[in-house]
A and B are shown apart, each in its own frame.
Chain A
Amino acid sequence: MINRFFIKLLEFYKKHISAGLNTRCKYTPTCSCYAIDALKKHNFFYAALLIIYRLLRCNPFSSGGIDRVPDKRADVKWLI
């Protein structure tokens, strides 16, 4: 439910806002696509964690590249 709402919000952002900001994500898939994927694959809280971690990685000093949403939530199990 909440995930679907945020996906709608992100789709709106992708369509109407991000294109005008003239910036492109250094990762493939882009941060917003990653966020949508994460919300589809995982529950809201884990997805939020993944998204925040991804946004922090997407800074000018990281190398970028291909980075997909993990299918299993093993890595940060201790956090939740």
Chain B
Amino acid sequence: MLRSQQRGVLPGFRLTLGYTLLYLSLIVIIPLAATFVKSSELSWAQFSQTVFSPPALAAYRLSFGASFLAAAVNAIFGFIVAWVLVRYDFFGKQFVDALVDLPFALPTAVAGITLATLYAPNGWLGGWLAPFGIKVSYTQLGIFIALTFIGLPFIVRTVQPVLADLDSELEEAAASLGANRWQAFWRVIFPMLSPALLTGFSLAFARALGEYGSVVFISSNIPMKTQIVPLLIMGELDGFHLARATALAVVMLVISFLLLLAINLLQWWSNRYNATNPA
């Protein structure tokens, strides 16, 4: 008779799995389930009226659009920052490296106020842009900038270690096979980094979706124009419409979950070559 239970070398499987489930339940699953429960107090008509109202639809578009755009821009520029930090030695490198983490540490409200002031039409940076008719503060562009600010460290910090571990022999091999630097980058380096880049992208995207503190200051928060979903939810809460607020939250949750799941699948696919079983 075969024993059904396999004994592994690493002890503590049950303990760690049990802890993981408990932790996830207390911190993530139960609070999220509560939003579903609370929103179910609404009838279907009330629910759809809340979540499909024109301001709500405009807010979804803005939230997901600006977050996606900010994460995409960060993916490009964060990649360049990581590249510079890993590949080159220059004076003040440690300083720049520390700077990258600031958006993590700074209270987002401070960031929002600072950005709003700088980019206001009479601000240091906004003053230069105003003559060209470019308004940043209190517009959708401002929201995009705030979301870019808070998302930057995610890309840099996920790409940086993978890039640092990349074997220089791979580039040398590509060169000895006749590849120029551009081909070596696109055919060898970039594909090796893309799983990390996707991880960073999904983290930055998720972070931007939930961002509230900085946007509330840099945006004018006008419904249909510059109102993101978290603001809409806060508005409902201020009016003591708790169930309606959770209904919006539920929609946010479901869409976010589906998007992140899609990114994870993409990431799994881009990392498929690390599978060790013969195909």
State yes or no: do A and B come from one complex.
Answer: no
Q: List residues of B whose CB falls within 8 A of some A CB.
A: none
Q: List residues of A whose CB falls within 8 A of some B CB.
A: none
